[in-house]
Structures are given as C-alpha cells and as structure tokens.
Structure 1
Amino acid sequence: MPQTIWIARHGNRIDFVNPDWFLTAEKRYDPHLSDDGHIQARQLANRLKGEEITHIFASPFLRTVQTANHVAQTLDLSIKLEWGLCEWLNPDWMSEMPETLSVKELCHRFPRIDPSYTSIIPNYPETGEQCLKRTDETAKRVAAEFPENILLVGHGASVIGTTMGLVQGVVETEINASLCCLVKVIRDDGKWVMELNGDTSHLSKTEADIRFN
C-alpha cells in the first residue's frame, strides 16, 4: 500500500517577532510560538484534516511541540517526541547543547505526548552534513517502523534533511522550508516521490524571506 509522509516546519517563533526575548529568556535556544505562530499552526491542523494521518512525530523543542499539539488536537492523535527531528545543533547558532523542557514537563503541559516512545539523542555540536545525515536516517527509520501515513514536525533544517533522505535526487537548495510549510512525499512501489514542496497555501500570512535562525 502507498505510504504518505507529511513534513512540516513549526510556526513563527517569539524571537523572530521580538529579538529581545532572547536576552532574558530562561531557555534561550527553545523559544515558544508567537501569537501568529499559533494561528499558523491551527491553519496547518485544518489543512491536514481528512488526510488519514495515524502518527505524529515532533522535535522536542517547544515551538515544534506546540505546532504538533494543534494538529494532534484537531486530528485526535498522540505525539511522539523525536530528537532525530530536532534543530541543527550548530555551534554558530547556540553556544551549548540547547536546554529544552524535560519529557515530564512536556507531558504535563501537553497530555497528548506519548511518554512510552523512545527517541535517539543527537550529539552537540554537529556540522551541517551531520545534521542532514541525522534527519535523513530518522525519516527512513520512522517510515520503516510506522508504515502508515505520518506527520513529522520539525525545523527548517530537518524539513530539508528528511526530504532529501527520502526523495532521491532532491538537493538542499530545491526544498522550500519556510515557516509552517508542508512537504508531502508518497512511497509507492518502493520509491518516494515529492508531491508538495514547502506548500504554504493553507496559511493566511507567510514570511517574505525564509529565516532559519
């Protein structure tokens, strides 16, 4: 049977809207969604109604969990936290391994999280090549273990890496990874084909320039 994987980036983040947030934040490398980011996430959730998604995987960063949670509420699904989808652990962006909320804290705030799911834990720091390899391997592993229609919610880097990992011949510069975008890939007869590339038609407001950090 064909399998569809949807790949989404999180909605707009508070430090993109208010850069000064970073100066006083307790967890500086784990910003939450901005108000318009929540709107984008709800629009993403509405877009995915009726797509027969059975599993949602999300990076454990707060902005990705919040985005995934909007979808999970709409589709009545649980969320599996997957560090393999996390942000690029780039030492030029962050001076240390980013601190996120603990799984216990996240489960308390977001009861749809499945605490029984076990994720890999990547190493800090990593090069761009290592990030692409990590997200590539994560996409392939999850697709094999969960051969239904699934949603991966990550970051700009993981949207690119997971798509490149699944679809042969696609290069980094060809993938649109704007905020709250959607990539759709379908596997039939053992080959992955990209049907949507960073689609944002579900959003009422999109970013003019794609930002990654």
Structure 2
Amino acid sequence: MTQIVWIARHANRIDFVKPEWFLTAERRYDPPLSDDGMIQAQQLAERLKMEKIDCIFTSPFLRTVQTANAVAEKLDLSIKLETGLSEWLNSDWMSEEPKRLTIRALAKLFPRIDASYTPIIAATYPETQAQTRKRSGLTARCLAAEHFPKHILLVGHGTSVKGAVIGLVGDIADDGEKVRLCSLFKAIRQDPGWLLELRGDNSHLTHVEEVVRFN
C-alpha cells in the first residue's frame, strides 16, 4: 500500500509586490497573498483538483492559509492548521515574534478550517534554519505516519517546505536550490523509504518569479 504526500509553498505575498505594505501593517510578518498570488493559488488548486488528496495541513500564517483554502475549496476538504509547518522564525528577518490572526479569527474568514484540530509540533521564536528544517521534517513524518495510508497535502514556506521534503526523502532533496513560490513537491511512500517523484514543479503557473526571495 502506497501513500502520497504533496508539499507546496504558498503563493506570492503582498509585501513582495508592494514593499511599502510592511511599513503600516498591523501584522507586518503575516502578509496576505497579493492579487497575482491569489491567481497562483487558484492555479495550484486546478493542478491538484484531479489528484486523490484526503487531508490538507497548512502553516497558520495568512498567506499559507489562503493558498491551502483555494485547494480545499476545489477539492471540498477541510483545512488543519499545523504550526510545525510555520515560517522560519528568523530573528534577522523579524524583530519580534510574528503576530498572526487567532484560530478563531481565521476560522471566521475561512470556514473550512477545522478549529478542533490540535497541532502536533510547535514553532518557537527565534530559531535557526536548521531548527526550522528539523521541526518541519518531523512534522511531515508524523503527519504521514498518523494518517497513513491517506494522501495528504502540506502547505508551508520556503524553509519549512524544504525541511518537510528532506524529512521524508532524506538529504537527496537538499539540492541547494531555493523553493519557488507556489511550487509543488510529490513524495511517494515505498516502504521502507520514500521516492521524490516531483521536485519544485511550477508548470501549473502562468507566471513564475524571476528571483526567489527568502529560503
């Protein structure tokens, strides 16, 4: 019996398009998707609509929730907020622990959120890149094991996506390349290990970023 774990990075974010947004934002480290990011999220949803996916887990940051919600609506699934997939809480990028919308507030905006879900892994500010990769890798392994043989989708950030992929398939996934916005990975369980069938695919996007910002 096989299992597929899909892993995607969120779509484009508003502060990448309008850097001045950061200067007046109430939650400056939790930007929403940009207009073109919303289109990318829909394109990701179209890419996945014919795939067999049973559960969706996403980082609780707004941009990842918006990306996951586009897929959830297309597949008619609920969304589970998993802090283990969170952004790299990097003190060089963030002067303080990032403020995010509460689960209750997010659930009001996105009714597909399963507010009863309890995250399995915490993310603690500040952390190193290695710590982020370790906790997202552990998150991916735990979710895959707990929900086996269901096929699942994980939506995260550059570093947490890379960590999740490495956590499943090993260092073969650490090619030194940054994870592009709204790109897609596909790992297939083939006991006793995993096969990386898709690596950073963005063929579903009509517009691909020229410069990859952040890890």
Shorter-chain TM-score range: over 0.9
Cross-structure match for 1:183? 185
Cross-structure match for 1:128? 129
The CA distance in 2 between the partners of 1:171 and 1:103, in whole Å, is: 32
Q: Where do 1:1-213 residues align within 5 Å? A: 1-119=1-119, 120-147=121-148, 148-212=150-214
Q: Name the SS for the 1:198 alignment partner.
A: strand
The CA distance in 1 between the partners of 2:192 and 2:3, in whole Å, is: 10
Query: Residue 176 of structure 1: CA displacement?
Result: 5.0
Query: Residue 49 of structure 1: CA displacement?
Result: 1.3
**Pairwise CA RMSD of aligned residues?**
1.1
Cα deviations by residue, 1:142-195 (Å, 9 ceiling, x for unpaired): 001111110000000111100111112325334551000000110022210101
The one-letter amino acid of 2:156's match is G
The CA distance in 2 between the partners of 1:173 and 1:13, in whole Å, is: 25
Query: Residue 97 of structure 1: CA displacement?
Result: 1.1
TM-score, scaled to structure 1: 0.97
Matched-pair contact (CA < 8 Å) for 1:6–1:183: yes
The CA distance in 2 between the partners of 1:173 and 1:64, in whole Å, is: 24
Aligned residues: 213
The farther-off stretch of 29-38 and 188-197 is: 188-197
Where do 5+ consecutive residues of structure 2 fail to align? none
Matched-pair contact (CA < 8 Å) for 1:176–1:197: no
The CA distance in 2 between the partners of 1:193 and 1:17, in whole Å, is: 35
Matched-pair contact (CA < 8 Å) for 2:137–2:168: yes
Matched-pair contact (CA < 8 Å) for 1:4–1:150: yes
Q: Name the SS for the 1:195 alignment partner.
A: strand
The farther-off stretch of 163-172 and 57-66 is: 163-172
The CA distance in 2 between the partners of 1:175 and 1:146, in whole Å, is: 29
Q: 1:2 to 1:175 in 2, by over 3 A?
A: farther
The farther-off stretch of 171-180 and 53-62 is: 171-180
Structure 1 segments (4+ residues) deviating >2 Å: 171-176
The CA distance in 1 between the partners of 2:112 and 2:208, in whole Å, is: 28
Where do 5+ consecutive residues of structure 1 fail to align? none
Matched-pair contact (CA < 8 Å) for 1:57–1:152: yes
Matched-pair contact (CA < 8 Å) for 1:175–1:198: no
TM-score, scaled to structure 2: 0.96
The one-letter amino acid of 2:11's match is G
